[in-house]
């Protein structure tokens, strides 16, 4: 990522050594290189800074990416700096006046002939060359990490000496001094990995369960990384190694508090982020308060544990976004033997800072120990290997629990026995209802099997293929008569709207299922190619923020797509109408922005395919009964390969006002094209105004230009839709505008990816300042959908595009 890269400006002369001895030095302009050429050490200047620092950076790959800085708090002002080692093994950096700006703290006994050596691991060490132990160092840079966690490094604390090894972010991209954020081991209770902003925890990786850190659902062995956690009475530390030593990997804690794990991709010649620790709101520490779980698959994401109820001032408001008060018990504990335990599965275990652990105690004895102490609130296995063993007890409130869709761990939560019996009785009732439903389903299934067989035969006959009629659509095919009946013979009274594909009808199947039917118009700008594209793509995609495709209907020239019915129509129906926009309060708008972001993130990163939508706009965002947004219309979407980053087309299709500059002018599209469209959508949701056709008397900019003008004029809140009045969270508004402007920056390299967008929307970290957006369509450009006029307009830019298809 561009935001995470540093540029280094220096002229170097590499020494033919990886080692210096007393009497030798490294002057500014000279470097040491490790034996295999993996790492290099010398003076450098980060970004546009003129200050000089001694650092270690990658030399074999990603030249210029720093992993460690010696004098991060005391730079040398010019190129007069010198790094040397004395006969006691102490490293020092001196400026032009021989003043010491930094020195190492060698705590062990000095050697007679100490040397300083840069190892292939990226570790800069001082050692006795006569010592046969390769790991016995007088001093090592790995004991003083900066913002990068490398294979072989340790993060942890020595309980005897108090020495704390931790990662700390840079202050900025040009200042390597310790910033606000740190990644470290919290030694309280069962030690756990945490991210802190100053003294406060912002995110929690969790404790070690014998296989992995509990903050992530990792049920299988990782084929790339080998993790290790060590804990005894003297020390606790966390480290990792690469199973293949030829692969370069790093964890980076950047200045805004984002922790990302990256692997160097030789084919692409770039760092590839394969994991982000703070990817959603559930990674925010204690987001849902005590005795509540957080799930990214639900809205609201927070819910109380079984046996607990919301403890806010308005307990009836289950959709409240403020869960800071958490939940409270429905019935108090008796603490006299009248308590029991409810097993919850698939969880990120609670904060272990108020816990106790013993590997020698089994789970049955663990339960007894918890019952004996009235402050004990839950227990779990300390180690999940070999069926589980060891005991982990929690005391006082349970906080920071995440519910995973798969993986996770078992937790036994203490409840009053009467409460547990009530929960179990509800479960038995559900089982009876389930059995009844199964019996009825069996009867219905028998009848449906006969119908399905008939439909299957019909489907084989009705299935169309591409233009040559050979491809299988792999999707349920509805009989034309069924759809005609459902839509009252395609009555004009059933029309929901009109899109580029054709009219959309509301229908009701015989069994009562409501559907939306997109019928390809003979005069449509889209044809068989777009129809097939939508069928083959969306039939393989499943996400709560994507519209669900039930099937298709093909008969001669008739082509139809059958979707789930969205009762609240599309987003543009609300936000661009002065009356209906008042129904979208601030909470709902934030909910819609969050849902769209998650849907696009799924398309770009998490689905089986990598999909570029190419037509994200307000009319393609449908809303269900609960105003949950669902992305629709995949006729123009394109599938990318695993290693593909962008593509180019001479057939530019989409909607003016949402297109990114590089796509509209040069036909180049990528995930960053969708990011641009998402940024436009966010600004439209915030302002209630369309980007295309926007006008203001004081300037000729579109909505993007207007938002930018307000931003640089320090008046961004003037952008907000008047329908909201003053009923909004100003901090959240400013964050949304900032993120939207980052998304619509002119250069696609400057735009964040969707995982970072979602993190920035949900988090509280300091955001980077946006650059000027891409002013693609301005008010003084002609308002036309004519192909000839549009082509003439773009000839100004000497575009090589030969065909534009406005929608």
For residue range 580-635, list pLDDT tens digits in order.
898 899 999 999 999 999 999 989 887 777 888 888 999 999 998 889 999 988 87
Q: How far is CA 537 from CA 463, 474, 541, 639, in A?
A: 17, 11, 7, 8
pLDDT at residue 104 tops 50: yes
Right CATH for 463-564 from 3.30.360.10, 1.20.1260.10, 3.40.640.10, 3.30.200.20: 3.30.200.20
Q: How far is CA 786 from CA 137, 498, 558, 606, 766, in A?
A: 73, 19, 27, 38, 44
Q: Chain centroid to CA 496: how far?
A: 35
Residue 300 sits at the vertex; the CA angle it makes with 285 and 280, to the nearest 5 degrees, is 40
Right CATH for 571-806 from 3.40.50.300, 1.10.3720.10, 1.10.10.60, 1.10.510.10: 1.10.510.10
pLDDT tier, 13 (very low <50, low <70, confident <90, very high otherwise): low
- Which residues belong to CATH 2.90.10.10 in the chain? 1-144
Which tens digits make up the pLDDT trace of 316-357? 444 445 677 899 998 899 887 789 999 999 999 999 999 999
Please check whether residue 547 is in contact with residue 537, taking contact to mean a CB–CB distance below 8 angstroms: no
**Angstrom distance (rounded) from CA 307 to CA 316:** 16
Higher pLDDT, 484 or 7: 484
Q: How far is CA 685 from CA 22, 585, 737, 757, in A?
A: 65, 11, 10, 16
Q: Indicate the range of 282-286, 381-385, 441-445, 525-529 predicted with least confidence.
A: 525-529
Q: Which residue has the tokens 């004009």?
A: 492
Please check whether residue 492 is in contact with residue 503, taking contact to mean a CB–CB distance below 8 angstroms: no
The strand pairing partners of 653, in sequence order, are: 805
Sequence-distant (≥ 6) Cβ neighbours of residue 160 within 8 angstroms: 234, 235
Confidence at residue 642, expressed as pLDDT on a 0 to 100 scale: 54
Confidence at residue 465, expressed as pLDDT on a 0 to 100 scale: 41
Please check whether residue 669 is in contact with residue 638, taking contact to mean a CB–CB distance below 8 angstroms: yes
Q: How many CB atoms lie within 10 A of CB 803?
A: 12
Q: How many CB atoms lie within 10 A of CB 52?
A: 24
pLDDT at residue 522 tops 70: no
Please check whether residue 213 is in contact with residue 227, taking contact to mean a CB–CB distance below 8 angstroms: yes
pLDDT tier, 464 (very low <50, low <70, confident <90, very high otherwise): very low
Sequence-distant (≥ 6) Cβ neighbours of residue 480 within 8 angstroms: 553, 555, 558
- Which residues belong to CATH 1.10.510.10 in the chain? 571-806
pLDDT at residue 787 tops 50: no
User: Of 774, 787, 617, nearest to 702 (Cα)?
Assistant: 774
pLDDT at residue 785 tops 80: no
Beta-sheet pairing, 514-519 with 503-508:
antiparallel
Confidence at residue 178, expressed as pLDDT on a 0 to 100 scale: 95
**Angstrom distance (rounded) from CA 543 to CA 229:** 35
Please check whether residue 738 is in contact with residue 682, taking contact to mean a CB–CB distance below 8 angstroms: no
pLDDT at residue 524 tops 60: no
Q: How far is CA 132 from CA 129, 137, 391, in A?
A: 8, 11, 41
Higher pLDDT, 693 or 57: 57
Please check whether residue 257 is in contact with residue 200, taking contact to mean a CB–CB distance below 8 angstroms: no
Buried b (16+ CB within 10 A) or exposed e, 244-278: eeeebbbbbbbbbbbbbbbbbeeeeeebebeebbb
**Angstrom distance (rounded) from CA 122 to CA 130:** 22
Q: Which residues are the active-site residues?
A: 615
Q: Which residue has the tokens 């939940």?
A: 327
Residue 282: strand, helix, or coil: helix
User: Of 17, 154, 148, 157, nearest to 72 (Cα)?
Assistant: 148
**Angstrom distance (rounded) from CA 746 to CA 215:** 37
Q: Which H or E element spans position 504?
A: strand 503-508
The DSSP-derived string for 394-443 is: EES----EEE-SS--EEEEEEEEHHHHHHHHHHHHHHHHHHHHHHHHHHH
User: Of 86, 99, 102, 78, nearest to 28 (Cα)?
Assistant: 78
Please check whether residue 798 is in contact with residue 791, taking contact to mean a CB–CB distance below 8 angstroms: no
Right CATH for 1-144 from 1.10.645.10, 2.90.10.10, 1.10.287.3510, 3.30.9.10: 2.90.10.10
Provide mean pLDDT across the span 152-174: 94
Tell whether omega for the bond before 300 is within 30 degrees of 0, i.e. cis: yes
- Which residues belong to CATH 3.30.200.20 in the chain? 463-564
pLDDT tier, 136 (very low <50, low <70, confident <90, very high otherwise): confident
> What is the radius of gyration, based on Cα positions, of the chain?
30
Provide mean pLDDT across the span 417-424: 79
């Amino acid at each position: 990522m561009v935001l995470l890269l540093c540029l280094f400006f220096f002229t170097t002369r590499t020494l033919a050594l990886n080692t210096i001895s007393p009497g030798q030095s490294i002057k500014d302009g000279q470097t040491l290189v490790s034996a295999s050429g993996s790492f290099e050490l010398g003076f450098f200047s980060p970004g546009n800074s003129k200050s000089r620092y001694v650092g270690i950076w990658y030399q074999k790959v990603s030249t210029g990416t720093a992993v460690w800085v010696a004098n991060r708090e005391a730079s040398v002002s010019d190129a007069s700096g010198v790094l040397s080692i004395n006969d006691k093994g102490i490293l020092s950096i001196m400026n032009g006046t021989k003043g010491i700006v930094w020195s190492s703290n060698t705590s062990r006994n000095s050697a007679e002939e100490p040397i300083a050596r840069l190892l292939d691991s990226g570790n800069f060490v001082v050692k006795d060359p006569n010592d046969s132990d390769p790991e016995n160092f007088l001093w090592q840079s790995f004991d003083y990490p900066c913002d990068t966690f490398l294979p072989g490094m340790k993060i942890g604390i020595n309980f005897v000496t108090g020495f704390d090894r931790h990662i700390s972010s840079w202050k900025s991209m040009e200042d390597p001094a310790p910033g606000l954020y740190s990644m470290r081991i919290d030694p309280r209770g069962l030690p756990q990995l945490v991210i802190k902003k100053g003294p406060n925890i912002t995110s929690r990786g969790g404790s070690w369960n014998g296989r992995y850190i509990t903050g992530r659902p990792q049920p299988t062995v990782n084929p790339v990384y080998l993790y290790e956690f060590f804990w005894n009475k003297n020390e606790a530390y966390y480290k990792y190694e690469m199973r293949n030593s030829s692969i370069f990997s790093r964890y980076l804690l950047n200045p805004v508090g984002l922790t990302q794990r990256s692997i160097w991709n030789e084919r692409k010649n770039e760092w590839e982020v394969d994991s982000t620790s703070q990817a959603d709101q559930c990674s925010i520490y204690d987001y849902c308060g005590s005795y509540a779980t957080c799930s990214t698959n639900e809205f609201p994401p927070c819910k109380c544990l079984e046996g607990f109820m919301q403890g806010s001032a308005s307990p009836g408001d289950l959709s409240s976004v403020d869960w800071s008060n958490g939940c409270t018990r429905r019935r108090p504990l008796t603490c006299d033997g009248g308590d029991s335990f409810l097993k919850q599965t698939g969880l990120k275990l609670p904060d272990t800072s108020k816990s106790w652990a013993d590997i020698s105690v089994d789970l049955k004895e663990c339960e007894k120990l918890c019952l004996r102490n009235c402050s004990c609130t839950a227990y779990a296995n300390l180690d999940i290997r070999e069926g589980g063993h060891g005991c982990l007890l929690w005391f006082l409130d349970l906080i920071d629990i995440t519910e995973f869709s798969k993986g996770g761990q078992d937790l036994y939560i203490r409840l009053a026995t009467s409460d547990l019996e009530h929960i179990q009785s509800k479960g038995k009732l559900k089982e009876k209802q389930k059995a009844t439903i199964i019996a009825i389903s069996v009867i219905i299934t028998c009848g449906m099997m006969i119908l399905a067989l008939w439909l299957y035969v019909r489907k084989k006959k009705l299935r169309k293929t591409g233009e040559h009629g050979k491809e299988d659509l792999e999707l349920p095919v509805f009989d034309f008569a069924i759809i005609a009946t459902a839509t009252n013979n395609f009555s004009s009274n059933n029309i929901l709207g009109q899109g580029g594909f054709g009219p959309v009808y509301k229908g009701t199947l015989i069994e009562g299922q409501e559907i939306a039917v997109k019928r390809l118009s003979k005069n449509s700008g889209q044809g068989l190619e777009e129809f097939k594209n939508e069928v083959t793509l969306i039939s393989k995609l499943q996400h709560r923020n994507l519209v669900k495709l039930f099937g298709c209907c093909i008969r001669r020239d008739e082509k139809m797509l059958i979707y789930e019915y969205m009762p609240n129509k599309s987003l543009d129906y609300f936000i661009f109408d002065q009356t209906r926009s008042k129904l979208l309060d601030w909470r709902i708008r934030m909910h819609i922005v969050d849902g769209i972001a998650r849907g696009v993130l799924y398309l770009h990163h998490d689905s089986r395919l990598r999909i570029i939508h190419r037509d994200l706009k307000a009319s393609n965002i449908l809303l269900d009964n609960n105003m949950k947004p669902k992305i629709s219309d995949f006729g123009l979407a394109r599938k990318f390969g695993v290693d593909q980053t962008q593509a180019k087309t001479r057939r530019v299709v989409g909607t003016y006002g949402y297109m990114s500059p590089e796509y509209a002018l040069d036909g180049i599209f990528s995930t960053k094209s969708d990011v641009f469209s998402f940024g436009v959508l966010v600004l439209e949701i915030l302002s209630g105004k369309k980007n295309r056709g926007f006008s203001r008397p004081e300037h000729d900019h579109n909505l993007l230009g207007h938002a930018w003008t307000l931003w640089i004029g320090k008046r961004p809140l003037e952008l907000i839709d008047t329908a909201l009045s003053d009923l909004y969270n100003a901090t959240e508004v400013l964050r949304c505008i900032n993120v939207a402007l980052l998304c619509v920056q002119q250069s696609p390299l400057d735009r964040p990816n969707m995982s970072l967008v979602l993190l920035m929307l949900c988090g509280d970290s300091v955001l980077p300042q946006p650059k000027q957006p891409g002013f693609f369509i301005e008010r003084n450009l002609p308002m036309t959908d004519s192909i000839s006029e549009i082509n003439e307009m773009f000839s100004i830019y000497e575009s090589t595009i030969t065909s534009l298809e406005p929608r």
